[in-house]
Amino acid sequence: MVKQTPETVILLNFGCKDIQKFARAIRAEHIYTMVMPWTTPVARVMQEAPVGLIVCRDEAASEHPAELAAFQALNIPVLIDKGMDAAAAIAFCKDTCKCQGLWTVDRFIEEAVADVKAQVGTGKVVLGLSGGVDSSVAAALIHKAIGKQLTCVFVNHGLLRLGEPEQVQKIFRDAFDMNLVYIDATDRFLDKLAGVNEPEKKRKIIGAEFIDVFAEAAAKVDAPFLGQGSIYPDFLESIPLDGNPNGVIKSHHNVGGLPENLKFELVEPLARLFKDEVRAVGRKLGLPEVMIDRQPFPGPSLGVRCVGEIKREYLRMLREADAIFTEELRASGWYSKTWQAFAAFLPVKSVGMLNGERHYGYTIALRAINTSDAVTAQVVHLPWELLEKVAIRIPTEVQGISRVVFDCTPKPPATIEWE
Ligand code: XMP
């Protein structure tokens, strides 16, 4: 996808770890910027009609004089930034490249709507709606462009949080009046997962089953196009930005991860946006705040938060406990101050006291972390009063739970999820 947005400034990555943060700082000034590796051919860079180039390089990065000289020979301003000095770059964009700050949410929506219309014409688009921020905003944007030509498919795999299926249907079918196919595949997933303890096996079953269920539903829609909520970091982290294939951070499931037999042309209207820009677009399109400020939720959902074998009864307890924790986090203002906070179900029994009687119940672990990249994470020091309140509410209100523990392990040595 090639954009001719005015005022594009290209960040050329000659070996700079924090380049995404740098790009964000420039975008925050409403200046459109793209990140490209130093190996990008000059002709490709020029396709974007950039008004300036910024060469980003950490002190220790190796130099690539021939490539650098080729960029410097172009008839556009070039800034060489070794210190990741965002203020100096921003000054370069405004003073030297004469950028006026034209990259706004309204402008983006206008362009994206026109792009989607031009791409799909009168064709149909099918989109897998997960209820997460990215797929929700992508759905709202594609819907704005082509209305009923879009069909969203929402698969309930039985591993969703409390009230989630109802909420998604209410927003997209009722408020937005979208074509929404809701599939309750709970039995299908949970039957396949019965007796499976091993986390990676669980993940594989959930992933494979999801593709099957989605493909069946998509085939009925008979659409040549597949809408996806892939965002800019998904692409940035999937390509070796510094030219070194070992530099790939992670291969995202929605970037190049589709099975070969799903023959769709992709429609990815958020592919140029960072997460906070996606949120701003979602707000502008009228999505409710509970959808916009959602914390990241793993693809395998509660499947990796229900430790060991997944049973319906365990999921019921986990869902109820997680809803209580989330409710208290929201009420105390901590939800927006944590990157991810959730409950995990541990199939460990201990003795508890309920209504003066001894009972034997399971365990809920609470986890709250902050991170910038999910590669490392710090435990959030939630107030003790909040934890205590949740620790009392859960065993009192959730039948079958007798104990609540707080997970105070950072990543590393732990991971964010329990599995
Ligand atoms: P970990 O547990 O690896 O989590 O420290 C890092 C981040 O990734 C999310 N996560 C997943 N997301 N499929 C996903 O889509 C998965 O299998 C998966 N496992 C972990 C996790 O929620 C955290 O944000």
Is-same-fold flag (9-96; 105-291)?
yes
Distances (CA, A) of 126 to 111, 148, 164, 186: 21, 11, 21, 21
296 Cβ inside 6 Å of ligand 1 = yes
Looking at residue 355, its pLDDT comes to 87
Q: What is the pLDDT of residues 11-65, one digit of tens each?
A: 999 988 888 889 999 999 999 999 999 999 999 999 999 999 999 988 777 789 9
* Nearest CA owner, ligand 1 atom 10: 298
376 Cβ inside 6 Å of ligand 1 = no
How many whole angstroms from 417 Cα to the centroid of ligand 1?
6
Domain assignments of the chain as residue spans, ordered by start: 9-96, 105-291, 307-406
Domain 307-406: assigned CATH number = 3.30.300.10
135 Cβ inside 6 Å of ligand 1 = no
303 Cβ inside 6 Å of ligand 1 = no
* Nearest CA owner, ligand 1 atom 11: 298
* Nearest CA owner, ligand 1 atom 9: 298
Element of type H or E holding 416:
none
Least Cα distance to 395 among 364, 368, 349 occurs for 364
What is the chain's pLDDT, residue by residue, as a tens digit (419 residues)?
Answer: 445 567 999 999 998 888 888 999 999 999 999 999 999 999 999 999 999 999 998 877 778 999 999 999 999 999 998 877 888 899 999 999 999 999 999 999 999 999 999 999 999 999 999 999 999 999 999 999 999 999 999 999 999 999 999 999 999 999 999 999 999 999 999 999 999 999 999 999 999 999 999 999 999 999 999 999 999 988 887 766 555 555 555 555 554 455 666 689 999 999 999 999 999 999 999 999 999 999 999 999 999 999 999 999 999 999 999 999 999 999 999 999 999 999 999 999 999 998 899 999 999 999 999 998 899 999 999 999 999 999 999 999 999 999 999 999 999 999 999 99
d(CA 140, CA 172): 8
203 Cβ inside 6 Å of ligand 1 = yes
How many whole angstroms from 28 Cα to the centroid of ligand 1?
27
How many whole angstroms from 298 Cα to the centroid of ligand 1?
5
Atom of ligand 1 nearest to the CA of 418: 2
For residues 38 and 64, the answer to whether their CB atoms sit within 8 Å is yes
Residue whose pair of structure tokens reads 């074509």 in the numeric block: 179
For residues 304 and 202, the answer to whether their CB atoms sit within 8 Å is yes
Homologous superfamily (CATH) of 9-96 is Class I glutamine amidotransferase (GATase) domain (3.40.50.880)
- Indicate the fold that domain 105-291 takes in CATH: Rossmann fold (3.40.50)
* Mutation pick for ligand 1 pocket among 338, 416, 419 (CB with most ligand atoms within 8 Å): 416
Give the three-class secondary structure for 131.
Answer: coil
Residue 258 DSSP symbol: S
Looking at residue 242, its pLDDT comes to 56
